[in-house]
Amino acid sequence: MNIPTDVAFERSSVISQDGTTIGYQSIGKGPDLLIIHGALSDSSHFTTLATELAGTYRVHMMDRRGRGMSGPQGLEYSMKKECEDVAAVQQATQAQMVFGHSYGGLVALETARLFNLFSSIALYEPGVVLQSQPEEWNWLLDYEKAIQKKDNRSAFAHFVQGAGHSPLSKLPLWYAKLMLRLFIRGEHWRGLEALLQQNLLEHKEVKRLAETYHHYQHLQAEVLLAYGGKSPQAVKDMIHTLNNTIAKSEVIEIPQLEHLSPENRYEPLKVAALIKPFFNR
């Protein structure tokens, strides 16, 4: 866990609609703000961001199902269950503001579309796919086969090459595996490895929801769409397309940042500094 030792987080839990326990941890005082993490992460990856925001807000970091303090994804995992989980935490906390990162951003959008629970939504590079061709998802089948063979290093390499807009995408698989093994190891790797199965099911939902972004044109909340200046052009195009789709939205580019910047080991303080003015309105 990446929780700072000098900061006290209060732990709580709720029961989602299908009976799954959803845990979350809270810090700070003020208007309630919910943080929804991405795919290969959990609430512990956002303690720095939460602590920075806690001087202004009562921040709640949920563990999405399948990790941390929450129950398993379940045999009938779906985006709808994710949204029901968020709705349960929102009901307990009464949070009117939400920050979603990556897959968590997609969860936030879908929750807003289904339940209209939030007045303000800040998203950092949400996992929205604008256009999709069948061959673009070949990596997902390779990823699943590698997991079934318990070849987790190959599975992770397939994911990075296929879904991460990575420079490794154009290199042979064996070389990508070697580079990833050199740079991601120890506790960092063990944390990622524990979430590979969850990541598979979540990206199947990303695939299913591809090309449905026009559904967000009816959102009633105000939406901030943020992205890093170092992120790929495809991410920037997605953000601007969402901005043209969502009625009450605005875009902000954060120079020098990349996709993982909201997480502890990267640059969450810069993200916090730029989303605070949006929520303060």
pLDDT grade for 4, boundaries at 50, 70 and 90: very low
Alpha helices in the chain (DSSP H): 47-53, 79-93, 103-115, 138-148, 152-163, 173-183, 186-193, 196-208, 233-245, 268-280
Contact by Cβ (8 Å): 212, 133: no
- In the numeric block, which tokens belong to residue 2? 């990446």
pLDDT grade for 270, boundaries at 50, 70 and 90: very high
* Mean pLDDT across 69-90: 97
Tell me the DSSP string of 113-176.
HHH---SEEEEES----S---GGGGHHHHHHHHHHHTT-HHHHHHHHHHHHS--GGGGS-HHHH
**Is residue 167 scored above 90 in pLDDT?**
no
E strand or H helix at 10: strand 10-15
Determine the pLDDT at residue 36. Answer: 98
Pairing of strands 120-124, 97-101: parallel
* Mean pLDDT across 132-151: 94
pLDDT grade for 1, boundaries at 50, 70 and 90: very low
Determine the pLDDT at residue 7. Answer: 65
Comparing 280 with 166, which gets the higher pLDDT? 280
Cα–Cα distance, 271 to 274 (Å, whole number): 5
**Is residue 198 scored above 50 in pLDDT?**
yes
Could you give the maximum distance between any two Cα atoms of the chain, in Å? 51
Determine the pLDDT at residue 84. Answer: 98
Determine the pLDDT at residue 3. Answer: 42
Determine the pLDDT at residue 169. Answer: 81
**Is residue 233 scored above 70 in pLDDT?**
yes
Comparing 134 with 271, which gets the higher pLDDT? 271
pLDDT digit string, tens, across residues 29-60: 999 999 999 999 999 999 999 999 998 999 99
Determine the pLDDT at residue 2. Answer: 44
Dihedral of alpha carbons 178, 180, 186, 191, sign: negative
pLDDT grade for 138, boundaries at 50, 70 and 90: very high
Determine the pLDDT at residue 56. Answer: 95
Look up tokens 């732990």; give the residue: 11
Lowest mean pLDDT among 4-8, 65-69, 144-148: 4-8
Determine the pLDDT at residue 281. Answer: 86
Determine the pLDDT at residue 242. Answer: 98
Kindly list the distances between the CA atom of residue 208 and the CA atoms of 95, 137, 160, 212, in Å, as whole numbers in the listed order: 28, 11, 19, 9
Scored b (16 or more CB within 10 A) or e, 209-224 reads bbeebeebeebebbbb
The average confidence (pLDDT) of the chain is: 94
In the chain, the domains with their CATH numbers are 10-129+212-280 (3.40.50.1820), 134-205 (no CATH)
**Is residue 8 scored above 90 in pLDDT?**
no
